[in-house]
Amino acid sequence: MKLHRCPLLLWALTSLAADNVWVGSKACAPCHAEIYRKYNLTPMAKSSGPTSAAAVPEQSFTANSGYHYSIVRRGPRLFLDFQRTGATQTERRELQYFVGTGATARSYLISVDGFLYEAPATYYTRPAAWAPSPGYDRYRYPFLTRAIAPACLECHASGVQSIAGTQNGYRSPPFLEGGVACERCHGPGAQHVASRKASDIVNPAGLSIEQRDSVCAQCHLSGEIRVDRAGKSMSAFTAGAKLSDYATAFVRATTTPSMKVTSHVENLAQSACSRASEGRLWCGTCHDPHTVPAPSEKVAWYRAKCRTCHEPDDCRRGDNCIACHMPPSPVIDADHVVFTDHAIPRRPSPRDTKPVIDAPLVAFGKENASPRDLGLAYAIVALREQNAAYASRAFDLLSEAERQNPNDAQTLSYLADLFKTKKKDDASAMRLYQRLYRADPTQSAAPMNLGAYQMEQGHNDEAIRLFQEALKISPGLVLVRLNLAAALTQAGRHEEAREALKKAHQFNPTM
């Protein structure tokens, strides 16, 4: 039998075979043309990209205590204009990239010198309207410095090009493929492209239960918080590995758990169907990842999936199984959207409508969480919610974790913050920040806080150096820019101080 080589890949076959690296989805198209065509029509394939690739209406809305926002398109470019009601001056920021499939919503990113920030405006598909991005309605001003979280792009885009040593810095473009690419679920494709062997590519259906489920859980299991294991990063996860080797997801232990935007995996685990199947039921049982049934076909499609396990009968409510047993429900971490309830309740069941702030955090599944991972989970959620009970639990756990591993950067960072904010113990916090600075100088918390302590002691030159280091890691730290301007002024460097204030105003024009 004659083998037909893919012409566009001939240049790479020799070198790629030596090292199984990523080659991009277009490398799959010549041999899997129909799958490639169908998949490119799915929401997952369209979950990120430049704003020119997704049409949205020009609209206006008011939020944040009287600020007026307008979405404006100028040719292929999309802009966010905003001003306080009654003011004459309008500020403008370009929305350069979107994240989100558009099935329920799309959020937008602002780029400042290559650093990405979530815009305060999101387009919600069901009401066909722009409104504040999730969580932004709590602010009294246009919040422009929410640094894009690594997981946001890692789940919505492929080939993410982050800049090492920064919190949210990316090369241009920030990702090589918009959406979820083939290799996100099948692993690096170079060896398969070279050999054409099925054994040289990952087929999730052929993996062990934990490896198989990890492929979907990498993006559809968020819990309350997900914590990277010590020395590991979810950015290094590839299909075929176990998610638990890279991170632990924590959920609140409640009797009526809530639904979140990406809680599909934990909701499915709550279902009687999943428990009875002993692992046989998984995402791929009901979903073909390469295609989505047309609206006119959905009822029959999912009923056929249910009938593979359940005896057919004549239901008085009709043939739409999911209408009753997987109803669309609101989520607690985003407004204006509903998601399918994957808990598959036999009858409608109550859900928490807001977080149960004193519920214990537990590792999802059968994992045993270390004091370090559980302590970080409590600390991160405590900071997000201003949750005093969680902060107390975090302090005890991280104190134990620090004794076990005195050089773990994440432990040092959050424990130092707790000493500063909860214990009001600046001396202990400063010692921990100094150790953090030595262990990992790319954590902005160390130079940011050490700079503040140095400035309090009158050491302006050292404070300036530390503040500048923190801003290289995370330029959107407005308070650090204000402290830098103050230190520069005290050092007699007035022109530099004015430039620092000018840059701070760029990030927060309402100051």
- What is the SS3 assignment for 11? coil
Sheet harboring 77-84: ordered strands across? 60-63, 67-74, 77-84, 91-95
Q: Report residue 76 as tokens.
A: 């292929």
Q: Report residue 446 as tokens.
A: 């160390």
Neighbours of 139 (CB within 10 A): 16
In this predicted structure, what is the pLDDT of residue 6? 36
Phi, psi of 246 (to 5 degrees): -110, -35
User: 56 near 70, Cβ under 8 Å?
Assistant: no
In this predicted structure, what is the pLDDT of residue 262? 74
User: 110 near 98, Cβ under 8 Å?
Assistant: no
In this predicted structure, what is the pLDDT of residue 336? 65
In this predicted structure, what is the pLDDT of residue 354? 77
Neighbours of 502 (CB within 10 A): 11
Q: Report residue 149 as tokens.
A: 């979280």
State how far the Cα of 237 lies from the Cα of 268, in Å rounded to an integer: 22
In this predicted structure, what is the pLDDT of residue 62? 96
Please name every residue paired with 228 in a beta bridge, in sequence order, or none if there are none: 247
User: 165 near 133, Cβ under 8 Å?
Assistant: no
The parts of the chain modelled with pLDDT lower than 50 are 1-18
In this predicted structure, what is the pLDDT of residue 14? 33
State how far the Cα of 300 lies from the Cα of 287, in Å rounded to an integer: 13
Closest CA to 329 of 340, 345, 321: 340
C-alpha count within 13 angstroms, C-beta hemisphere, residue 20:
14
Report the length, in residues, of the chain.
Answer: 511
pTM: 0.90
Amino acid at 88: T
In this predicted structure, what is the pLDDT of residue 213? 96
State how far the Cα of 355 lies from the Cα of 364, in Å rounded to an integer: 17
C-alpha count within 13 angstroms, C-beta hemisphere, residue 56:
38
Exposure string over 26-37, b if 16+ CB within 10 A, otherwise e: ebbbeeeeeebe
Angle at 485 (CA atoms; ends 480, 487), nearest 5 degrees: 90
In this predicted structure, what is the pLDDT of residue 19? 64
Sign, Cα dihedral of 492, 498, 503, 505: positive
Domains and CATH numbers, the chain: 48-173 (no CATH), 225-340 (no CATH), 372-507 (1.25.40.10)
In this predicted structure, what is the pLDDT of residue 348? 75
State how far the Cα of 173 lies from the Cα of 52, in Å rounded to an integer: 14
Please name every residue paired with 147 in a beta bridge, in sequence order, or none if there are none: 117
Phi-psi region of 203 (alpha: psi -120 to 50; beta: other; left: phi over 0): beta
State how far the Cα of 69 lies from the Cα of 433, in Å rounded to an integer: 40
DSSP 40: T
Amino acid at 383: L
